Amino acid sequence: MTRDTRAFQFQIDQTEPLYEGFYRMDRLTVSHQTFKGGQISIQRELMDRHDAVCVLPVDLVTNHVVLIEQFRVGALKESNPWLLEVVAGLIDKDEAPEEVAHREAIEEADIEINRLHPITEYLPSPGGTNERVFLYVGEVDSVGAGGIHGLDSEGEDIRVHRVPLAQAYAWCADGTINNAASLISLLWLQLNEAKLRKLWSE
C-alpha cells in the first residue's frame, strides 16, 4: 500500500495567539486538501508543548521495573489522580533526548541508567497538541530503588516503586496503569523481553 502524497498539502492561513504561559495556545485557521480532491478550511486550537522524553527503567537481572507515582492534574476525573508512570521530562533546553532520559532518571527516581534502547517516537494527542514523545527502555540496577524524590523547584512530589515484571504487566491488563507512555513501554517490553535480554547480555 502506498500513501497519496497529494493529501499532505496544507497551508496555515491565520494564527491567533490565545494564551502564553508554561505552554502556549493558538487558534489556527488551516486549509488542506481533502481525500476527494477538494479543499477545506478548518479552525483548531493548538497547544504548543515541548517535546517529552519517557524512559522505563528495567532491571532484567532481578526481573523488576522502576515506576514512579505522582499527582496529575489531568487525571482529576479519575478515581485516583496519583498515577503510576515511567520516568519522564520535557526537552526544554539544548539537550538530546538521551541526555534528558539520564537526567530525569536521577531527578525523579535517584537511579542511574546504563544502556538506553529506543522503543518509538509518537504523538500523544495530535488533535490538539504538537508534542512528540521519545520513548526508551533503560537498563538499571533496581536494588535499593525507592523513596520520595523530585525537584522542589518544580513542585515535584514523586514516590518510587520497584515492581516485579509480572506485577507491572498485570497492572497494564487490569487498568491500574492507565497512561499512554507507561502502557506502550511496558507492553513493548512484554513483547520484546527475550530480545532485550539477548541484546543486553552481549
Q: In this structure, what CATH number is given to the domain that contains residue 197? A: 3.90.79.10
Pairing of strands 52-59, 133-139: parallel
- The domain total for the chain is 2
Cell 532484567 locates to 60
CA distance 89 to 98: 11
150 and 184 belong to one structural domain:
yes
Q: Which domain holds residue 70?
A: 52-201
57 and 42 belong to one structural domain:
no
CA distance 84 to 19: 30
87 and 121 belong to one structural domain:
yes
81 and 11 belong to one structural domain:
no
Give the residue numbers annotated as catalytic, written as ranges: 154
pTM score of the predicted model: 0.92
CA distance 71 to 12: 37
114 and 39 belong to one structural domain:
no
pLDDT in tens, the chain (202 residues): 776 666 678 999 999 999 999 899 999 999 998 888 889 999 999 999 999 999 999 999 999 999 999 999 999 999 999 999 999 999 988 899 999 999 999 999 999 999 999 999 999 999 999 999 999 999 999 999 999 998 888 888 999 999 999 999 999 999 999 999 999 999 999 999 999 999 999 8
Judging by beta carbons within 10 Å of its beta carbon (0-12, 13-18, 19+), is residue 51 exposed, middle or buried? Answer: middle
